[in-house]
């Protein structure tokens, strides 16, 4: 691929996620072609590409929903290739989907509390259950603040706007204390105001969290990306900062239609 060097990927920087020559086909259709990419600690890495480029297939391989045909995927130094979604989540990758995973008849805080408890349940300290419960609730409140819905904890999820529900979904994903957050089009279907709120939320997420995100909206990409990888027919056409990718002649030719 046209790999554009960046200061983000200097020697000695430990990548949180790394794919090594990843390939996936459906019959004769190659949807991931020899794809090697990295996401560093704290990096906001955004995948763009036209419809059918293979973005969701890539996310599905990283999240464990789709098994690669060949190649490897590493989370830090652990080979997670072909592991189940549940195991990959426990190892440190949290994912939000475009479908809703919330409990509509429970409040914001109850949803977050359940998500935190699901993570911590197996380490429940039977001697001090009250302290445990209050620590869970504290973390649920912190998560509500992280996704910008603090102060509204008692609202039922079914009364939240679409944008607020998607904010809460990110809080639910963060409850698993991930090393990498995988976001599939977090602003799809949102109004301009909701999109702006989501940009601010993602920008304010903990600075050491690695984020790999699929996005179509170039305003979102330019607002957030430390690194952009352009997928085209399953192949990484270019990878670099927004400015570097915009300046790539190949990207302008085949994706942005801006040649000349
Ligand atoms: N389970 C499947 N079986 C066969 N073909 C599939 C399957 N899943 C995806 N494809 C095909 O693989 C190609 C890549 O699809 P994918 O959804 O990964 O692309 P995408 O970049 O996410 O597209 P979009 O932006 O439209 O969501 C498409 O041609 C799609 O039709």
| DSSP secondary structure of 193-207 | HHHHHHHHHHHHS-T
Q: Could you tell me if 81 and 143 lie in one domain? A: no
> Which of 129, 149, 177 is where one domain is finished?
177
Q: Could you tell me if 106 and 43 lie in one domain? A: no
Q: Are strands 29-40 and 15-26 parallel, antiparallel or unpaired?
A: antiparallel
* Predicted complex ipTM: 0.96
Q: How many whole angstroms from 81 Cα to the centroid of ligand 1? A: 20
Residue whose CA lies nearest to ligand 1 atom number 8 = 57
Q: State if residue 54 touches ligand 1 by the CB under 6 angstroms criterion.
A: yes
The minimum-distance atom of ligand 1 relative to the CA of 57 is: 18
What is the pLDDT, as a whole number, of residue 98? 58
Q: State if residue 51 touches ligand 1 by the CB under 6 angstroms criterion.
A: yes
What is the pLDDT, as a whole number, of residue 38? 96
pLDDT in tens, the chain (260 residues): 544 443 334 445 679 999 999 999 999 999 999 999 999 999 999 999 989 999 999 999 999 999 999 999 999 999 999 999 999 999 999 998 655 679 999 999 999 999 999 887 745 555 556 667 788 999 999 999 999 997 777 899 999 999 999 999 999 999 999 999 999 999 999 999 999 999 999 999 999 999 999 999 999 999 999 999 999 999 999 999 999 998 998 888 876 564 43
Q: Residue 84's domain is classified under what CATH number?
A: 3.40.50.300
What is the pLDDT, as a whole number, of residue 105? 95
Backbone angles phi, psi at 228, to 5 degrees: -120, 135
The minimum-distance atom of ligand 1 relative to the CA of 27 is: 4
Residues 184, 260: Cα–Cα separation, whole Å: 32
Q: Could you tell me if 21 and 36 lie in one domain? A: yes
Q: Could you tell me if 70 and 19 lie in one domain? A: yes
> Which of 177, 202, 230 is where one domain is finished?
177
The minimum-distance atom of ligand 1 relative to the CA of 234 is: 14
**Residue-level length of the chain:** 260
Q: How many whole angstroms from 157 Cα to the centroid of ligand 1? A: 31
Q: Could you tell me if 122 and 110 lie in one domain? A: yes
What is the pLDDT, as a whole number, of residue 255? 66
The answer to whether the beta carbons of residues 234 and 31 sit under 8 Å apart is yes
> Which of 137, 154, 177 is where one domain is finished?
177
Q: Could you tell me if 113 and 227 lie in one domain? A: no
What is the pLDDT, as a whole number, of residue 5? 40
Q: For the chain, how many structural domains are there in total? A: 2
Q: Which ranges of 53-210 does DSSP label H, i.e. alpha helix?
A: 55-63, 85-91, 108-120, 129-146, 162-174, 192-204
Q: Could you tell me if 183 and 55 lie in one domain? A: yes
Report the 10 Å Cβ neighbour count for 37.
Answer: 22
Residue to substitute in 33, 46, 47, 52 for testing ligand 1 pocket (most ligand atoms within 8 angstroms of CB): 52
Q: Could you tell me if 106 and 163 lie in one domain? A: yes
Residue whose CA lies nearest to ligand 1 atom number 29 = 52
The minimum-distance atom of ligand 1 relative to the CA of 231 is: 21
Report the 10 Å Cβ neighbour count for 60.
Answer: 21
Q: Point out which residues pair with 75 in neighbouring strands.
A: 17, 78
Residues 168, 147: Cα–Cα separation, whole Å: 7
Residue whose CA lies nearest to ligand 1 atom number 5 = 26
What is the pLDDT, as a whole number, of residue 6? 39
Helix (H) or strand (E) holding 182: strand 180-184
Q: What is the extent of the structural domain holding 83?
A: 1-92+178-260
What is the pLDDT, as a whole number, of residue 120? 79
């Amino acid at each position: 691929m046209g790999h554009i060097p960046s200061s983000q990927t200097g020697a000695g920087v430990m990548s949180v996620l790394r794919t090594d020559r990843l390939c996936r086909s459906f019959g004769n259709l190659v949807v991931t072609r020899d794809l090697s990419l990295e996401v560093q600690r704290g990096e906001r890495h955004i995948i763009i590409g036209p419809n059918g480029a293979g973005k969701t297939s890539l996310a599905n391989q990283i999240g464990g929903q789709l098994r690669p045909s060949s190649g490897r995927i590493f989370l830090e130094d652990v080979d997670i290739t072909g592991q189940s979604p549940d195991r990959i989540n426990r190892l440190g990758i949290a994912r939000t989907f475009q479908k809703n995973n919330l409990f509509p008849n429970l409040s914001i805080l109850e949803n977050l509390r359940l998500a935190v408890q699901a993570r911590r349940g197996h380490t429940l300290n039977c001697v001090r259950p009250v302290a445990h419960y209050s620590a869970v609730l504290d973390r649920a409140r912190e998560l509500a603040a992280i996704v910008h819905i603090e102060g509204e904890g008692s609202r039922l999820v079914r009364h939240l706007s679409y944008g607020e529900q998607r904010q809460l979904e990110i809080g639910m994903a963060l409850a698993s204390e991930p090393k990498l957050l995988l976001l599939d089009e977090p602003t799809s279907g949102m109004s301009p105001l909701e999109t702006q709120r989501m940009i601010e939320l993602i920008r304010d997420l903990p600075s050491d969290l690695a984020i790999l995100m699929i996005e179509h909206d170039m305003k979102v990409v330019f607002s957030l990306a430390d690194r952009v990888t352009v997928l085209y027919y399953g192949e990484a056409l270019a990878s670099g900062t927004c400015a570097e990718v915009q300046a790539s002649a190949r990207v302008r030719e085949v994706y942005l239609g801006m040649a000349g």
